[in-house]
Structure 1
């Protein structure tokens, strides 16, 4: 599994999302996902939305995925901090 594959899957499942995925060992990854679809959703719901884009790969080919999920406004605030 590659970071690029995970990024493509998340982007396909959350159209318009900005996704950055990192991971060097092929099973442990970190992703930052910025999406308008997260507006009004709690962090757990946001994470479930991302996990849904990866389906059965979670817990299999992807052993661990650390997530940071933000709306565009939250991402802008974080960038200014």
Structure 2
């Protein structure tokens, strides 16, 4: 089963309700996401990305994960 942009954005929005979120990709397996959220302030990039992967609730876990690749950009707002 694939994960599409709308579903991915919904999952992210549950954990980051006030974030600016942009999701792109149409094949359901290779996506990109930009997540800009105040909760990232003071956290390094690895901490930010771990928070996003946790929000995906296992969609990328293991070789049989629904989402194969996610090009991820995270940051706090300017």
TM-score (norm 2): 0.88
Q: Which residue of 43, 47, 65 corresponds with 2:70? A: 65
Hey, what does 2:37 align to over in structure 1? 35
Unaligned runs of 5+ in 2: none
TM-score (norm 1): 0.85
1:43-62 equivalences under 5 Å are 43-59=45-61, 60-62=65-67
Q: Matched residue pairs, number?
A: 73
Q: CA RMSD in A?
A: 0.9
Q: How far did 1:15 drift?
A: 2.1
